[in-house]
Structure 1
Amino acid sequence: MPVRRAGVLAVLLACALGATACTDRTEPVDRAAVSSVDRPAPVGVVADPPTTGGNAAPVPPCDPRASLRPSPLPRPGAMPEGSTMRAIQDRGRLIAGVDQNTFLFGFRDPTTNKLSGFDIDRVYEIAAALFGDANRVQFKVITSAERIDALKRGDVDVVVRTMTATCARWAEINFSAIYYTAGQRVLVEKESPIASADQLGGQTVCAAKGSTSLNKLRELAAKPRLLAVDNWSDCLVLLQQGQVSAVSTDDTILAGMVAQDPNVKLVGPRFTEEPYGIGIPKQSEDMVRFVNGVLAQSIAAGSWTASYDLWLRAKIGEASPPPATYRD
């Protein structure tokens, strides 16, 4: 009998502490009316992003493809005294600004957890020419919008990140010779009626902050609504969620998205030409000439073609290295 009484007391105590558990009431204590739920968006999304602010000085006309003539390459590990390359050699590693979210060009391989892609191969070639060891690299992941500031601050030695050489950018940094030429196109879901860039009027279109793609979209006669993100992979997520009607950037980047998602497609012809160069700090002209020597060697030895065949040929088709143009 004492045992049974103790059990009854335990039940009464439980009911006192949590009365709802011992009644037939199932309603929540505080019912909130929910009319709609916003779909999640990537961090840093900006609607109708502003153009580059301030009263910028006029950009001097230039040939953005024309770089500095390459110098003869020193033997790896024997960079000239007082040169930018010697400072990198003495540090013991090349610091390269890259992407980790652009499939085929700069992405983190989930099977190896290593950065891979066509741009990453260019970084390894530079490191091998400096040290005789392609692995003497510190990769620094940056967004499109961070590329120029990272070079101007000296955070990185080079930026190899699907970066279009333009006269406006030449005014702030240096570029290598052009190592690939892309073109801007449009990506939509397979069932979308959009067939080209001139049908984007009134549609919400995604592009990355700090990219030339945003500026080209603003120039379209058909005026789209723009959504800017930090990384191109964020654009693909927004398209998959139905929060944008299209993504527009270089066909090389979009081809990587098609490879990742069979439910999207590229539409329309190229409506821009995007010459990719390796970004280098303005004061480091000797490094520009050195990198151009590395690129010329890569093309002559067939390394550029082997890299293209590995990453891009099956997705983009036939291509050849762009001819180098030098201004001196």
Structure 2
Amino acid sequence: MKRVVALLIPIMLLAGCGSTDQPQNSTYGVKASVPRPENVQDPAEVPSPGPAPDCVPRASLRPPATLPAPGKMPAGSTMAKIAARGRLIVGIDQNAYLFGFRDPTSGDLVGFEIDMAHAVAKALFGDPGKVQFLAITTADRIPVIQDGRADMVIRTMTMNCERWQQISFSTEYLASRQRLLVRRGSGIKEFADLAGRKVCATRGSTSIRTIAAQPSHPVPVATDSTLDCLVMLQQGQVDAVSTIDVLLAGLAAQDPTTEVVGTPVSDEPSGIGMSKDTPDLVRFVNGALERIRADGTWTSSYQRWLADSLGPVPAPPAPVYRD
């Protein structure tokens, strides 16, 4: 499988801008500004956490003892409505290497989270290909569930008590912690080394709040995608990128001049997000996750996409149920 090296992006942009032999307007002696990704917030707006009661963030709804067979969803259920439509609509990230990205040869969306979506579609339809993927930003994840544009979101979304008030989650399908991505040789090892320096994460993520809460007072910078943060790190516009370690490993795999460092500063269990109005779908998805944990699908997907970057395949996260 070919790897798309994000390190080349700024170089290609610069090469494309300087291809003419005789520029009409000379800028000799004028320092060119470094191009920025769109919609950058520098410094980022850091939303205050909303009121949230105590909860067990990993605890979801227990699945039925036996899942309905594909093509035989209970009448009137959310699953039956999805089956009648003929496809499952899933919000995903198409720019997260190893998780959800375009294969450069086939053009298909592939990755660990894409495999999770196909597994749910297989449980619903008997056909893993009956999925319509909706590419969204981090900030879009909850709105597309609430307004019905997507049946679910599989986009490394942290399960926390505040979000449980807005949407529902499946059981945990991936464990992670927030750390740092820096340039090799930068001397940055921990958040303590980033006092007053810029650290990038995606808008709408828990990572932005965590950056702002660090005692060293780094300056949070927000972008629409983690890949934009990598470009800004490459261009020297930020000093570090900070998000969950599994995503940082994907960035480091694309750019070997970077490395993941630092003590983890948060616990970030990822769950599949769904509407609070569809508890039957939540239970069904949890049953599908039980199946892929048991039959080796989860393990084989992790081995294919993540083991080279994250090390030996762990056991799948154990499900936690609230009823």
TM-score normalised by the chain length of structure 1: 0.88
Of 289, 293, 297, which residue of structure 2 is paired with 1:299? 293
Counterpart residue type for residue 123 of structure 2: A
Of 193, 196, 201, which residue of structure 2 is paired with 1:199? 193
Counterpart residue type for residue 126 of structure 1: V
Number of matched residues?
A: 299
Cα distance in structure 1, aligned partners of 2:116 and 2:24: 61
Instruction: Decide whether the 8 Å contact of 2:46 with 2:212 is kept in 1.
Output: no
Following superposition, the deviation at residue 227 of structure 1 comes to 1.1
Instruction: Decide whether the 8 Å contact of 2:112 with 2:305 is kept in 1.
Output: yes
Instruction: Decide whether the 8 Å contact of 2:198 with 2:240 is kept in 1.
Output: yes
Cα distance in structure 2, aligned partners of 1:233 and 1:30: 33
1:289 corresponds to? 283
Structure 2, unaligned runs of 5 or more: 1-22
Following superposition, the deviation at residue 41 of structure 1 comes to 0.2
Residue 51, structure 1, aligned to residue 46, structure 2: yes
Cα distance in structure 1, aligned partners of 2:179 and 2:50: 30
Larger radius of gyration: 1
Deviates more, 1:194-203 or 1:126-135: 194-203
Of 143, 152, 156, which residue of structure 2 is paired with 1:158? 152
Cα distance in structure 1, aligned partners of 2:27 and 2:253: 43
1:75 corresponds to? 69
Cα distance in structure 2, aligned partners of 1:165 and 1:227: 23
Of 251, 254, 274, which residue of structure 2 is paired with 1:257? 251
TM-score normalised by the chain length of structure 2: 0.89
Per-residue CA deviation, residues 70-111 of structure 1 (Å, 9 max, x unaligned), is: 112100011000000000000000000000111111111111
Cα distance in structure 2, aligned partners of 1:229 and 1:130: 35
CA RMSD of aligned residues (A): 1.6
Residue 262 and residue 282 in structure 1: after superposition, are their counterparts in 2 closer, same or farther (change >3 A)? same
Superposed, which structure 2 residues align to 1:86-165 within 5 Å? Answer: 86-165=80-159
Local SS of the residue matching 2:175:
strand
Following superposition, the deviation at residue 273 of structure 1 comes to 1.1
Cα distance in structure 2, aligned partners of 1:62 and 1:29: 64
2:55 corresponds to? 62
Cα distance in structure 2, aligned partners of 1:276 and 1:169: 12
Residue 273 and residue 301 in structure 1: after superposition, are their counterparts in 2 closer, same or farther (change >3 A)? same
Structure 1, unaligned runs of 5 or more: 1-27
Counterpart residue type for residue 97 of structure 2: F
Following superposition, the deviation at residue 51 of structure 1 comes to 2.3
Residue 30 and residue 299 in structure 1: after superposition, are their counterparts in 2 closer, same or farther (change >3 A)? closer
Cα distance in structure 2, aligned partners of 1:82 and 1:102: 36
Local SS of the residue matching 1:43:
coil
Cα distance in structure 2, aligned partners of 1:122 and 1:260: 22
Per-residue CA deviation, residues 114-142 of structure 1 (Å, 9 max, x unaligned), is: 11111110000000000000000100000
Superposed, which structure 2 residues align to 1:141-290 within 5 Å? Answer: 141-290=135-284
Residue 321, structure 1, aligned to residue 282, structure 2: no
1:37 corresponds to? 32
Residue 31 and residue 298 in structure 1: after superposition, are their counterparts in 2 closer, same or farther (change >3 A)? closer
Per-residue CA deviation, residues 261-283 of structure 1 (Å, 9 max, x unaligned), is: 11101112212111000000110
Instruction: Decide whether the 8 Å contact of 2:212 with 2:219 is kept in 1.
Output: no
Cα distance in structure 2, aligned partners of 1:247 and 1:282: 32
Instruction: Decide whether the 8 Å contact of 2:89 with 2:133 is kept in 1.
Output: yes
Following superposition, the deviation at residue 220 of structure 1 comes to 0.5
Per-residue CA deviation, residues 23-53 of structure 1 (Å, 9 max, x unaligned), is: xxxxx99888974322100011111222226
Following superposition, the deviation at residue 326 of structure 1 comes to 0.4
Local SS of the residue matching 2:172:
coil
Instruction: Decide whether the 8 Å contact of 2:60 with 2:321 is kept in 1.
Output: yes
Per-residue CA deviation, residues 237-256 of structure 1 (Å, 9 max, x unaligned), is: 11111111110100100000
Following superposition, the deviation at residue 313 of structure 1 comes to 1.1
